[in-house]
Structure 1
Amino acid sequence: MSSDEYSIRVNGLGKCYEIYATPRDRLKQFIIPPIQRLVGREPSSYCREYWALENISFDIRKGEAFGIVGRNGSGKSTLLQLITGTIAPTVGTVETRGRVAALLELGSGFNPEFTGRDNVYLNAMLLGMTHDEVDERFDKIAAFADIGDYLDQPVKTYSSGMLVRLAFAVQVQIEPDILIVDEALAVGDALFQKRCFGRIEKLLSDGVTLLFVSHDQESVRTLTNRAILLKGGREVSMGSASQVLLDYRKLLHQEESDYFSKLMQPAADKVPAPAPAPAPQSADSNASSEGGTAPESSESSEKSQAAAVSGRADQMSFGDGGVEVLSVGTFGADDEPCAVFYPGDVIRIRVNCVSHIDTDSINVGVRIRSREGIKIYSWGTLNQDMQVLAGLREGELFWKRQLKAGEQFHVWLECDCSLGSNLYEIQASISYEGKPDYTAQRILHWKDEAAFFQTLMRQDEYFFGGISDLHMAARW
């Protein structure tokens, strides 16, 4: 990538903090090591180093939307502060091209004693706008913030939501080349968030570069093209947003499993780790009894292709093991395989599974996502069990079904097609539910891209726009 094509370039970035046990050690570190260097002695250290960020490198193209994900304490905010220049790196370099607008912390740059109106002028002028430019755009800023008479009240009287409204309204009106947003929008109400995301999408269409941090995976998937996953200040994964979010879910699952295995040892004992897969045969196993090497047959070629497919499937799945999703298929009302549906059709999803252990308390579920990565719907056998337990419907509880080791079984999930025209992905999962209410869940097997189907319209018979059919009717 040439230097003219990027907006942000991060190379070998790291930030180290010195941690002192007592204030006295801080004073010693300031005085004694310089004296020791002057007399030619090895300097002593009275602190320990904490690397909040270490060896991070990436480039972001102009007009690209880039996401940063990770748990609290993973280094996300530190990385953004380094990029915006509010703190200096210990090692490495950061280059940015163009005007940067950053929404990092609530009220950063605001004087709590000033009114909202005064802070608009102060903040905008600090960001490079003239007084006349602020006058020209003030009405747009006030309309976007939509805080009414509070605009002339001191900022210290604002709620966190009002504060972020005003801060975001100022940032997006300076016409930035780079917009950096760090989780601040999470405090806004649903209507304001919708307005913010609409504004962000408008900026992206105008060629603004977006650096976006959020714990909301669907927002990251929808807004960004690429992403990076951080853990403990280091890069875990970087690539397409969908792949990085899958790695993020795997990371969260692993950490959650480690946590609950300590709290729920009885349940953990019921769901042991799966037996290791048999080791692949070595090349020597293809040798003939005379010691020669047999030529690769069509059968071995098919096995190689199957192994490649299996490797892809392994990358798209995770879980503690014990019970496994073998395959997922979509069928029509006549039980024939079908991958294309129309509004009003019946969609039948068959999830084929195998249990490697004796267990109960199982939930088999699916999640449906659109081609754009937006979650449309999620549902499982436990949802139906909860209705039975609440007395809303009759039937047996799948949650109480006793599974035996080696038992293969399947679950049918059925619904009427009310989806708009699109390509949809089915994710399948099997979870152990310690309680029949989703409050004590452990993922045994999760499978992305388990199946796909498409919905179309018979436009001359039945047509609607959007992602779902609300079965609207007109009356006059």
Structure 2
Amino acid sequence: MGSIRVKQLGKAYKIYDKRWHRLVEWLLPFRGPLHREKWVLNDISFQLAPGEAVGIIGINGAGKSTLLKLITGTAQPTTGSVAIDGRVAALLELGMGFHPDFTGRQNVYMAGQLIGMSVEEISGLMPEIEAFADIGDYIDQPVRVYSSGMQMRLAFSVATARRPDVLIVDEALSVGDAYFQHKSFDRIRAFRKLGTTLLIVSHDRAAMQSICDRAILLDRGRLAKQGTPEEVMDYYNALIAEREGSTVEQTVTAEGRTQTVSGSGEATVSEIVLENDKGEPVEMLNVGTAVTLRVKVRVHADLPRLVLGYMIKDRLGQPIYGTNTHHMQMPLENVKAGETPEFRFRFPLNLGAGSYSVTTALTSSETHLANNYEWRDLALLFIVMNMNRREFVGSSWLEPAVEIDR
């Protein structure tokens, strides 16, 4: 089984104001440096235990791809060290290592040997590689005529033709159609069950939370946060809003979960409750119960526009349903400081048995990235139980009417 140990890793690039400064610095080192250093990564340390899955997130330019290159050895660190145990398969850049004038089949042999497979082993695996890539007759066409999705299919098929001890995947999986992404993540999940250690860069929240044990957030080349995928993704969303002048605060609830609250504070949720059809507050409900989500807001500054949104999430933090008053064409205009508007959303709770949370967002439009007055995760917790419905599985209650002809 594989493991990864990253210790105080850093990467700096030399920046020269003029091209000939590089030559002068090399020929006349006694004159002193003619460059300045730009650090893209600084003091990164973490470990992956055998069989663990860790996701890396961060905005563009945070250093994610550079980190993976340092870990896989395709780039050398300026400071720190990386130690990997086990056989590694890495999928970093789209079609990396493919020669555009070679056919797909020829590139399979070339790429397979680069990751340590023998010609005989590649030949034995070729039918499986072809079947998984599913690019048909293009396997014998030059790679230069491939679409980006086809290159992704073939590259992933080769890299995962045999189960590695460590699998490292960059955002390349975002290229291609939904069907192949589904197939790819199914294979990754199967490898996980067999003990493969996984390091993956992705902005797909659902994939991150369903596959990974932990998540790491990079921000401006530094390790900003480690924790559960839900906790880190919530913090990441809040951090994006912080760029617009909001504050971010995380606290641990009585249930032991990390709650993230961000925003400018110009409007806040003062009360949130889930009520039954009698108007009584409830925390435990039957599948399909008619409920009202009542949210009271306190406005602290004059606002030209106020939108309230809510999101229902399952116990893993994956979105089940969300909407807001912008999409429902019911925003509040010209709201004054001191007002306390109350919102009521009525709907049938057609959810499967389980525990759920509600996230609220107060903004000026359809997204919290423009004017984030308040974003509050875990604003409300409730439990759904199947008390009298026919047995079913899943997160939604969609009981059908059945007709059978014989």
SS in structure 2 at match of 1:408: coil
Q: Is the 8 A contact 1:101 1:180 kept in 2?
A: yes
Which one of 134, 154, 165 corresponds to residue 166 of structure 1? 154
Query: Aligned letter for 1:358?
Result: D
Which one of 19, 26, 29 corresponds to residue 30 of structure 1? 26
Q: Which residue of 2 aligns with 1:294?
A: none
Q: What does 1:157-236 align with in structure 2 at a 5 Å threshold?
A: 157-236=145-224
Q: What does 1:363-402 align with in structure 2 at a 5 Å threshold?
A: 363-385=307-329, 397-400=330-333, 402=334
Query: Aligned letter for 2:162?
Result: I
Query: Aligned letter for 1:27?
Result: L
Q: Which residue of 2 aligns with 1:14?
A: 10
Shift of 1:135: 2.0
When the two structures are superposed, what TM-score results if normalisation uses the length of structure 1? 0.80
Q: How far apart in 1 are the matches of 2:237 and 2:51?
A: 27
Give the total of aligned pairs.
Answer: 400
Query: Aligned letter for 2:303?
Result: T
Q: How far apart in 2 are the matches of 1:168 and 1:100?
A: 13
Q: Which residue of 2 aligns with 1:151?
A: 139
Query: Aligned letter for 1:428?
Result: T
Shift of 1:368: 0.9
Q: Is the 8 A contact 2:259 2:378 kept in 1?
A: no
| CA 424–315 in structure 1, closer or farther in 2 if over 3 Å, else same | closer
Q: Is the 8 A contact 2:362 2:368 kept in 1?
A: no
Shift of 1:315: 5.6
Q: Is the 8 A contact 2:111 2:158 kept in 1?
A: yes
* Greater mean deviation of Cα atoms: 197-206 or 344-353: 344-353
- Identity, % of aligned pairs? 40
Point out where structure 2 has 5 or more consecutive residues left out of the alignment. Answer: none
Shift of 1:415: 1.0
Which one of 87, 102, 108 corresponds to residue 114 of structure 1? 102
Q: Is the 8 A contact 1:382 1:399 kept in 2?
A: no
Q: Which residue of 2 aligns with 1:422?
A: 354
Q: What does 1:445-464 align with in structure 2 at a 5 Å threshold?
A: 445-458=374-387, 461-464=389-392
Query: Aligned letter for 1:177?
Result: D
Q: How far apart in 2 are the matches of 1:370 and 1:246?
A: 14
| CA 398–91 in structure 1, closer or farther in 2 if over 3 Å, else same | closer
Shift of 1:471: 3.7
Q: How far apart in 2 are the matches of 1:7 and 1:325?
A: 44
Shift of 1:447: 0.5
- Higher Cα Rg: structure 1 or 2? 1
Q: How far apart in 1 are the matches of 2:253 and 2:155?
A: 49
Shift of 1:103: 0.7
Shift of 1:309: 6.6
Shift of 1:313: 10
Shift of 1:314: 10
SS in structure 2 at match of 1:377: strand
SS in structure 1 at match of 2:237: helix
Q: Which residue of 1 aligns with 2:71?
A: 83
SS in structure 2 at match of 1:341: strand
Point out where structure 1 has 5 or more consecutive residues left out of the alignment. Answer: 37-42, 259-272, 275-306, 386-396
When the two structures are superposed, what TM-score results if normalisation uses the length of structure 2? 0.93
Q: Which residue of 2 aligns with 1:344?
A: 288
* Greater mean deviation of Cα atoms: 182-191 or 242-251: 242-251
Q: How far apart in 2 are the matches of 1:167 and 1:140?
A: 13
| CA 440–105 in structure 1, closer or farther in 2 if over 3 Å, else same | closer
Q: How far apart in 1 are the matches of 2:136 and 2:390?
A: 45
Which one of 76, 84, 89 corresponds to residue 101 of structure 1? 89
Shift of 1:159: 0.5
Q: Is the 8 A contact 1:253 1:319 kept in 2?
A: yes
Deviations for 1:419-467, whole angstroms, at most 9, x for unmatched residues?
A: 112211111111112xxx65984221011111111222246x4333222
| CA 137–322 in structure 1, closer or farther in 2 if over 3 Å, else same | same
Query: Aligned letter for 1:153?
Result: Q
Q: How far apart in 2 are the matches of 1:231 and 1:472?
A: 47
| CA 99–440 in structure 1, closer or farther in 2 if over 3 Å, else same | closer
1:412 maps to 2:340: no
Q: Is the 8 A contact 2:263 2:372 kept in 1?
A: yes
| CA 49–404 in structure 1, closer or farther in 2 if over 3 Å, else same | same
Shift of 1:193: 0.7
Shift of 1:238: 1.7
Q: How far apart in 2 are the matches of 1:125 and 1:440?
A: 46
Q: How far apart in 2 are the matches of 1:22 and 1:217?
A: 43
Q: How far apart in 1 are the matches of 2:327 and 2:32?
A: 62
Q: How far apart in 1 are the matches of 2:186 and 2:145?
A: 28
Query: Aligned letter for 2:308?
Result: V
Query: Aligned letter for 1:454?
Result: I
1:431 maps to 2:360: no
| CA 403–23 in structure 1, closer or farther in 2 if over 3 Å, else same | closer
Q: Is the 8 A contact 2:238 2:260 kept in 1?
A: no
Query: Aligned letter for 1:332?
Result: N
Q: Which residue of 2 aligns with 1:237?
A: 225
SS in structure 1 at match of 2:327: helix
Q: Is the 8 A contact 1:182 1:214 kept in 2?
A: yes
Structure with more of its chain in helix, by fraction: 1
Shift of 1:146: 0.8
1:475 maps to 2:403: yes
SS in structure 2 at match of 1:54: strand
| CA 468–61 in structure 1, closer or farther in 2 if over 3 Å, else same | same
